[in-house]
Structures are given as structure tokens and as C-alpha cells.
A = this chain, B = another copy of it.
């Protein structure tokens, strides 16, 4: 019962083939094999748990069917949420579900249907086609061989969290040694190892580098002497800000955009479900990145902020810095009220050529469709309210603006 204008705009936007610039898809297992792969997504386990489900059904030894029953069994406690809406959309679009809402009674039937449908040979192809998915970016560890998949569809992206935050762990340095043949003993060898990683990734068609960062992080240029001391005498205790800086140097050299995902504190809820433990401190600022943004004018930084409260900084920094680009709606801000607010603000004050509208952040391809559908509904609403109704744009022009956010800018920024 949304109005006609919004519905028409959303319908037009739904025709655009997607290039999804950030996901956690495993290209060797891109689609779900059972409903457990869908409902095991942390958005469901954490909501069910937060609403009262014990963690017992999440144990390895519990059968997938039982786990699905438990998670669906708690849905009547969180069926108001946007996250539930994604699941309903999946059930309807992919599983032929026709009910009004998903109840415990439907669990077994849905589970069985999913078994049947997900195990069709061409399931991946079906999902890709229904989703109109042209390309999707991955998030790869530095030692990922990047083998066995089509890198033009599944675009490699170098995730650098481990390099920046866990160089103090012997196993990280061991993995680097294994992947590159380089032992890290000083700034020089560190630089060589990172160079080797970038070489490997760009040869395999990587189109971006990415990292997620805590609220208090501030990148910094560390001199080689200091890095050497940290490596040799201090177990790499304070090295992250300098490693990030070095990675930015290689982004410049290898011409890769560097996705910054700013604001997450890891393991805040220490007994939370898997991947449902991370929260944040709203007190953070892009001012912490001023040196980085100033020092690397040649590197494009697509920036995601975890909270809507940071959005005005992102708008303002993007309005001044040519190399700062707002990127999608991340995690806790990826629900309609925050998307509506943040998107409206960005469209009012940031050049349209700099707005990367959305990414799915999905672990399984089935989630790309419902998440993008949610985004397009919000986008259609913003275009209608802020551009078409005030007479600023025609419907056709509004669709073109939406296309720019959904697709054109992704192509331009990431050069795909």
C-alpha cells in the first residue's frame, strides 16, 4: 500500500543488474545448502538469543532441522524486525512460501522445501538470475589462494584486519611466511610481504582492499626504526596504525580503493552467539583519519560508518575530500530508519558521483536479493519525497539517479 510513485520507482530500480561491492560470500560455496545455512546467519541467531532462546540449539551436535525449528520457533518474538523481513522475502521468493508470516508450524515444511530447492544442480545460477546479480565482491584473507572460482563474477577483495590487528600472533606471521615466503623481522620485510600479497591479489583480479576498525583507531605513519623495535622487542604490540598506513601506500601503488569500515568494538558481549558479540561506542570521529585522507589523495577511501550518528561527518568529509566516498549502510545501520536518514542526508549534500549506494554484506547469495530489495524500497521513497514530489527530478531522472547509486558508481569507483 505504499503509494504508486514509490512503487513505480522501486519497480524501475529492480531492473538494474547488481554489482555488490562488499560481501562475505565463499565463492566455493556461494549458496545455501539447507535452511540452516540461511537461519544460521548471525542476524537470526542473535535476535532469537536476545529474545530468549538459549544457545543450546546452536551447538554443533544439534541437527540442522532442530536448530531451524528453534530459530523459527522464536520468530514470533522478533517478526517486527527488518531482519525477519529479509527471511520472509527469501521464503517467498526462493521457497514458494505463501503464508502471511512464518510460524513454528511452518518450520519443518520450509526446511524440507529448502532441502529440495537448494540442492538443485543449477541453484546458484537460479539465485544469480533472480537477483540480477552481475558481480559480487568477496572478503578474502591475505593468504587466500583465490583459486577455483570465476573471479570476474566473484571479485576478490583483500581483507587486511589480520595484518593490521593480529601481527602480534605467531600464527599470523607463520601464515605470512607460508603465503609469501617472507619472514617478518623489520619494516623492510613487512613491506615486502605486503607487496607480495598485493601482487597476488591484483593478479587474481582483486578490486579493493578492506578493513574494519574500532572506534578509537587512528592511522599513523610509523618510521621504520619504530616498526623494527615493535617487531623485535615488543611483540608487535603497537604496530596496527603503522601497518594500515603501509597498506594505504600499497593501495596507492596498486591503484586499489581502500574500504574503511569504521566503528566496531569486538567481543563486547562475551557470551554472545557466534558473530553476535560485537558492538560499539558511538564516540568516534573521522577526524582520526584526517592524516590518512590528507596523505593519500591518490587513494579512494570508500567509508562505511557503523552508526547513523557518524553519518554527518561522513557527509561533510565526502563533501570536501575528493578521496572520501560514502559506502553503503553497514550492519547496525542497515535497517530502514537509519538508511532513510543517512541516504537522505548524503543525497542532499554529497556529489552524486561519489555515492556508493549499497552492498549486501551477505554470507550466502540468497541474502543479496532481500537486502537490496529493502534498500531499493527506501531509495525509491527518498527519490520520491526529496526529488520527484518537490519537482526537482522527473521519474526518469530519479531512476537514473538511483541507478548511479546502485550500479554506475560501483563500476567507476572500483573500476569493474
A contacts, CB < 8 Å to B: 1-2, 46-47, 49-52, 77-83, 85, 265, 268-272, 276-277, 279-287, 290, 293-294, 297, 307-310, 312-313, 315-322, 332-333, 335-338, 341, 344-345, 347-354, 377, 386-392, 401
Q: Which residues of B contact A80 (CB under 8 A)?
A: 347-348, 351-352, 387, 401
Q: Is the CB of B390 within 8 A of A1?
A: yes
Given contacts A345-B337, A351-B81, contact A332 B307 (CB under 8 A): no
Q: How far is the CB of A4 from chain B (nearest CB, A)?
A: 13
Q: Is the CB of B276 within 8 A of A320?
A: yes
Q: Is the CB of A351 within 8 A of B315?
A: no
Partner of A349 from B281, B287, B312, B335 at Cβ < 8 Å: B335
A76 to B363, CA, bound (A): 36
Q: Is the CB of B83 within 8 A of A349?
A: yes
Q: How far is the CB of A391 from chain B (nearest CB, A)?
A: 5
Q: Which residues of B contact A276 (CB under 8 A)?
A: 320
Taking CB as reference atom, which chain B residue is nearest A320? B269
Given contacts A1-B388, A268-B290, A401-B80, contact A46 B285 (CB under 8 A): no
Given contacts A1-B390, A80-B401, A309-B309, contact A280 B316 (CB under 8 A): yes
6 contacts between A and B (CB under 8 A): A80-B347, A268-B290, A272-B320, A279-B290, A279-B316, A377-B390
Q: Is the CB of A2 within 8 A of B389?
A: yes
- Known contacts A80-B401, A281-B287, A282-B312; 14 additional CB pairs below 8 A are A2-B391, A78-B351, A82-B348, A268-B287, A269-B293, A269-B294, A282-B309, A282-B310, A307-B313, A332-B349, A336-B348, A336-B386, A337-B345, A337-B348
Q: Is the CB of A320 within 8 A of B1?
A: no
Q: How far is the CB of A297 from chain B (nearest CB, A)?
A: 7
Taking CB as reference atom, which chain B residue is nearest A83? B349
Q: Which residues of B contact A317 (CB under 8 A)?
A: 279
Q: How far is the CB of A291 from chain B (nearest CB, A)?
A: 10
Given contacts A78-B351, A85-B392, A277-B320, contact A270 B282 (CB under 8 A): no
Q: Is the CB of A270 within 8 A of B287?
A: no
A97 to B348, CA, bound (A): 23
Q: Is the CB of B294 within 8 A of A285?
A: no
Q: Is the CB of A332 within 8 A of B312?
A: yes
Q: Is the CB of A283 within 8 A of B285?
A: yes
Q: Is the CB of A390 within 8 A of B354?
A: no
Q: Is the CB of A351 within 8 A of B47?
A: yes
Q: Is the CB of B283 within 8 A of A270?
A: no
Q: Which residues of B contact A47 (CB under 8 A)?
A: 319, 351
Q: Which residues of B contact A78 (CB under 8 A)?
A: 350-353
Taking CB as reference atom, which chain B residue is nearest A349? B335
